[in-house]
Structure 1
Amino acid sequence: MTGLLAHWIAPARRRALADTLAMAMPLLIAGGVVGWRGGGPVIALLIVAIGSAMAILIARRRAARFDRAWLVRSLDNSRPELEDSSALLFAEDAPLAPLQALQHTRIAARIDQGAPDDLRPGWSRRTLLAVSIMAATLIIAALLCPRPGEGPPMLAPAQEGLPARPGIPRLVAQNLRIIPPSYTGLSVRDSASLDARAPRGARLEWTLRFDPQPSNAVLAMLAGQPLSLRRDGETWIASRTLDASFLYRVDPATARGPTPPLHRIDAIADAPPQVKALSPTASLSMVTAGQRSWTPVFAATDDYGVAATARLRVTLAIGEGENVTFSEREIALTGSGPARDRRFAPRLDFSSFGFVAGGDMVVQLIVRDNRSPTPQEVRGPSMILRWPSTKEPESGGMEGMVNTTLPAYFRSQRQIIIDAEALIKQKRGMALDRYVTRSASIGGDQQILRGRYSQFLGGEEEGEPALPTADGHQEGDGHDHGGPPKQPSTGFGAPEDVLGDFGHPHDDSPASSLDPETRAILKQAVDEMWQSERELKQGRPDLALPFAYKALRFIKEVQQATRIFLSRVGPELPPIDATRRMTGKREGLASRTLALAPVEGRDGPAAAAWRALGEGPDAIRGPIALDALEDWTRTNAGRLPDALALLGAIDSVRSDPACMACRARLRAQLWTAMERPLARPARRRPADAGGARYLGAIGGTP
C-alpha cells in the first residue's frame, strides 16, 4: 500500500473503528451490570472481556472494507474534476502507458483540492441511539431485579412427606438462605432444602409457610433451646448464626401431629493456612561457592484465601561454642498469585544481613488467612542455610581420641543471660506472678546446667537413676563407676552429653578428665551458677545477672584452657560361664511370659445397645433405653466419625421403636462408632518333632 493510499483511507478506517466501539460500549456496560448482579464481579469481568474482544474483531472487519477499491469509487463519485481516472493515482508499481501517464500528471495536481476527511462515513446515530436505549433498559432491569440471596426468597415445595390432617398445621413451602461471612468471598445463596452445609459463622435465615396457619411455630433443636419462628404476613421467619453443626426439625403443631423429620446443618470450619517450602526441598542447605544471596520459595494455601502480606523471620547464628551470637529480625513480604495459592520468594542478600562463613541462616514464613475478626496465623517449616567455616580441622598423631562433649556444654550460659535480660525489659508490662514464674523457669534451666557442669567435678547430677546401658562393664571389672548412671534431664545441653548420661570417664584421674588448675576454675563457675540459680528462683533476675556473667567468664577460661582426652579402650564383656554351656541347665532363668492386662473399653453403652439391636441372646424386641447411649454419644462426640448421624439414628429409634429400618440404621452407626478391638497376640508356633525331642532331653515341656 502506497503512502498516498494510506493517507486517504486512514480517516475512514478510524471513523469505522470509533463508530463500532461507540455502539459496543453501552452493550458492554449493560452486560457487565447484568453479570455483576447475577454472578458477581468475576462473571461481570468475564462478560466484559469476551464482549470487548468481539467488538474489536467486528470493528477491524468494518474498517477493512475501506480499501483501494472503495477509495477509487468514492473519489470518482464525489470529485468530477478527476475525470473518473482516480485509479491512476493509486496504481501499482506497474509502468503506465504514455496516455495513462499523461492523464496521471493532469489529475495529480487536482487531488489535493480535497481533504481525506471529506470521505469519512457518518456516525450511525440511529443505531447508536437504539443500542443505548436497549442497554439502559437492561441496566435498569438488572438493578431493579434482586440478586440471588436478596429480596424476598422464592419458596420451594416442602419435602417433609407428612400426611395432611384436618386442623393440624404442616409445612407446605420452605427456603433456607445462607449468608456466608464476608471474608470467605462466597455469595449469598438460597437453598430449597432445609439440610445444608455452610461455613462456620454464616447467617442462616429460614422462610417457611404453613397450612393452616399455626398459632406458634418453632425450630426444635435436637440438643439445645428451640428457635422461635416469627410471623411475617403469610410466612414465618427465623435466623441464627451457625457456630456449630446441629440437628433440628420444623414443628408447627407443637407435638400435636406426626413427628416431623430431622434436618441437618453442617458447619464447615475455616481450615488454617498451609505453608510448604517449594525450594529448596531439603530443610538444610549449604552455601555454594560464589553464592551471595538466597531465595527460598514458599507456597501458602488456604480454603478462603491467604493475606497478601506475610512475615519472614530470619535468625542468624554466627560463631561457635560460647562465641555464638544470635540475631533475629522479621521482614515484610508481598505474595504473588491468587489469594488461595500465593507464592512468597524473598531474595536474602548475605551482605545486608551480615551472614558470613561459620554461621547458619534460619528462615521461617509466618502467614495469616483472611478470617475476620481473628485471622489464623501459621508458621511454616524452618529452612536452614549453613555456611561452613573456612577453618581447617585440627589433626594430630595422638593415640586416643579427643572428646568434644565438654565444649558442647559451653553453649547455654549465654542463653540464660539473654533470657534474664529480656525478662527484665518486659517487667513493666507483665504481671508480678507471671514475672516470678518466668524467672523461676530460667532458674530451673540454670540448675540443670549447673548439675551438668558438676559432673566434671566428680559430683552427681540431680534426677532419678536410669537403667544402665550395655557399655560392656559390670561390677568388679576394675573401674570406678561412681554409682549407677542417672536419668538425663531435659533442658539445656541435654542432647550433647552422651558420655555423661550413658557411661563414665576412663581418664587417669579417678574423678575427672580436667587438670587441677582447670578444675578449680570450673569449680568457681559452678559456685557462681549456684548463686545465679538462687536469685532467679526467688524472682530476682536483676540480682542474678552479676553471678551469671561471672560464671560465663569462668566457663570461657575453661574452654580456652583444656579439652578432655580419653584413652582408646575397647569394651570389656562379662566372662562367660563355660560350665553351663550345652548342659541344658535352666536354673536361674526367669519366665519370659508377659502377663496380658485386660483393656477396659470405653464403648460400654454403645456395645450394649448394639447387642440389644441385634439377633443374639441380648437382643431386645421392644423399646430400648437410649438415654445412656445418647449421653455417651454427646460425651464422645469429638472422637466419633459422625456424631450427628448417630444422634439422628437414636432419635429415629426413640420416635418409632418398631421401625426395623431405623433399628438397623442405628446398629450400623454404632458399629462404625465403637473402637476397633485390639489385635490379639499371635500364638507361639508349636514345636515340631525335632524340637519336642530336644525339649524332652533337657527336661523342658515338649
Structure 2
Amino acid sequence: MSDVAEVRRRVTAKLWRAASLYSFPAWIAIVAPWIILRQLLPVLMELVAAVLYSWWTKKHIDAHWISWSNASFPELEDSMHLLASDVDTAALSSVAQLQRARLSQKIEHAFNDAACRHLARRYLSFPRSLIILSCLLSVAWFFVPAQTTALKDGSLINEIKAKPSLQHHSALSVHVTPPAYTKLPAFTSAPKEMQIPENSQVRWCMATPSSAESAKEALSIHLSNGQTLIFVQRGEVHCAEWQASETVFWSWSADAAKTRIVLKVQLDQAPQIKITTPTDMVQVLAQDAKQVRIALRITDDYQITQASMHMTLARGSGENIRFSDKEMPVPQGKDSKLREWDKLWSLSELGMEPGDELYFFVRATDNADKNPHITRSPTYTLRLPSPDAAAEESLALPMMVKVESLRSQRQIIIDTEQLLADIKANPKLNPNLIRTRSEMIAGDQGALRRRYGKFLGEESSLFADDDGDHGDHSDHDGHGKKGDSAPVDLAAQYGHAHDQEENATLFDEATKKILRRALAAMWDAEKSLRAITPASALAPENKALEAIKQLQQADRIYLHKAAFTPPAIKEEKRMSGDVLDLKNTSKKQNEAAVIVPEAIRNLLITLQRQDSLPALWSKTARDWIAEQINNEEQRLAAQAAIQDVIDGCATCRPALAAWIRQGISHAELILQGRSVLKPKQNSAFDKAWEASLQNKQPPSANGKQP
C-alpha cells in the first residue's frame, strides 16, 4: 500500500470513529424505552438499523471527505484531490509532487480529534426525529390495551389460579340502568371498577345456585357505607338492587378474599353560566351609545330545560326611582346541553333612556328528576349617564351640601391645566407668580379635601385654616376672663369625638372606601401643588374626580329581592294548643357546642388502648366519617379502614383512629362573657352602719357598739 493510500485510510477511519461516537447517545435514547418496556423485537430491529446506519456513514465519508476537508481547513489550500488519486508520485509534475509532500505533513495535524468531531457534527448530524418517533411509539405501545400481554404471562396465570375466589365473579354480573333524564343506555358488565351517573339503578345478578350451600354463600353484597344488599330470587336468577347515591366500594359474600371493587358515582352537576359580555359588573355606557352587546353561555352535563334572562330597569333619582321588571327566555339551539346567546341590543329595545340603569342576571334549570338544579348568575349593571351628569358640580352625595365659596374638583383640574398651559406658552414666566397660583390651587384643593374629610371624622389640617372661626373664645364662659386665667375647654379644642352616631351610621363601608381613595388622591395633588410641581398634581386630581363621580351614583342602589316565605300553617293544629312538635328556639348562652360526641370519644379511647370495641361501633364510625369527611377519596380510604378493623386487622386501628380525628373540627371561639353572680360582701363600715340603724345609736370610732 502506498503512502497516499495509508494517509487516506487513517483520515477516513478517524472521521468514521468520530461520527460513531457522535451518534451513539442518540441510538441509546432510541433503544432505551423499548428496553424499559422489555420488548425484544423493537430492540433487535433498532440494533440492525444502527449497523446499517454505521455502514452508510462509512460509505458517505469515503465519497465526500475530500470536499469536506477543502471547505473546512484553509491550510490545506484546496489541494486534497492530490491525495484522492492513486497516481504514482513520480508521474506527477514537480509542483504537484511538492504540494502532495506538504499535504502529507499537514494532514496529521489538521485532522486531530477536535477537528474530526467538528466535521461529524457539521456533515453527519443525526436525525433527531428518529428519537421523537421512537419515544412516541413506545408511549403508544405502553398505553394501548391491545398490546398488553399480561394474560399470556405464566406468573399472572398462576396468581389467578391461586385465588379461586375470583372465579365466583364470573357467575356475577352487574346491570346498570341510568336515570331516564340522562338519556344514557343501560349496560351490563362483569364485576369491575366503573363510573355511573347519580341515581342509577344497580343490580347484581347471578344464576340460581344448584345447591343450598352455594345459595347461602352468595346471599348479600356489602357496601362500604354499611349497607347490606340481600339477593332476592327473580325467576332463574338472584338479584340485589341499589340506587347509586354516593361513591362506594362493594364486596361479595361469596368471595373468600373479600375483593373490594370501587363503584364511582358521578354526581349531577348544576348548570354553569358564563357572561362574556359585558366583562365588568358595572358597565358605564357612552352618552351617545345606541346599542349594547350582551353575550352569555350556559352549559350542563345532560340537558338545560329552562333558561331566562331577568332584567330590571331603574329610572329616576332620589325617592322617585321606579323599577320595571321583565323576563326573556334564552333561545335553545341544536345541542340540549348548551345554550349560547350573543345579541346586540338597541337601547330602545331595552327601554333605556339617559340616566337609566339596567340590572340583569341569568337563571338556568337542568332536567334532574326529583330536585332540578337551579343556577343564578351575578347581577350585572348597565348604566347610561344623562347629558347633565358631566356638567353637575354637586358633591359626592345628596346630603353633602355644597358651599358657595368651595371650588369643585373639576374647576381645580381646569385651573391646574391652565397653569401648565401658561408655563408652556411662556417659559420665562415669573417664578413668584407660578408659586402664588400653585399655592392658591393647593389651598382650594385643601379646602375641598377637608370638606370631604369631615364625613370620615377628620377635623385638623396641616396647612390652611378651617372653614369655621377659631379666634378668641375667652368670653364663652360668661365671666369675661382674659389671658391665661380664662378657662379653656381643652377637650373641645384638641379632642376628637370617635363614637358619633351619624359618623357610624351615615355611610356604608364601600362608600367610605371610595371617600378614602378620593382623600388620598387629594392629599397627593395638594402635596405636588405646594411643592410647585403642578404637572405631577394633575394625575391625582383626575383620580379624585373619578372617585367623586363614583360617589355621585351612590344614591341609587339595586338589591335583588330575597323575601322570606314562611311554611304553610296546618289548619288542623291551629288554635289547638298542641306544642308537642314545636322546637325550642331559645338560645342557650354561655354553653360551648359539643365538638366531639361522647360515642366518638369512647371509640377513639378504645382504638388507642386496643380494647374490645363497643357495640355498634362500625355504624357510629361510618356515620361520623360520612358527616365530617367530604373528600370522596378520603372517605373511601376511611371506610376501607373501618372494613379492615371489622375483618380483624389489629394493626389497622391506628389508621382508623387517624381518620376519625381528621373529622374533628376546630372548637369555636365563645365571644360572650360568662356572668357569675356572687353574694355581695359588706365592708366593716357597712356592717357598723346597719347595726347603728338597728340600735338607733351612732357607731363608735372602732365600728363597735358602746
TM-score (norm 1): 0.41
Q: Choose between structure 1 and 2: higher helix proportion.
A: 2
Larger Rg: 2
TM-score (norm 2): 0.41
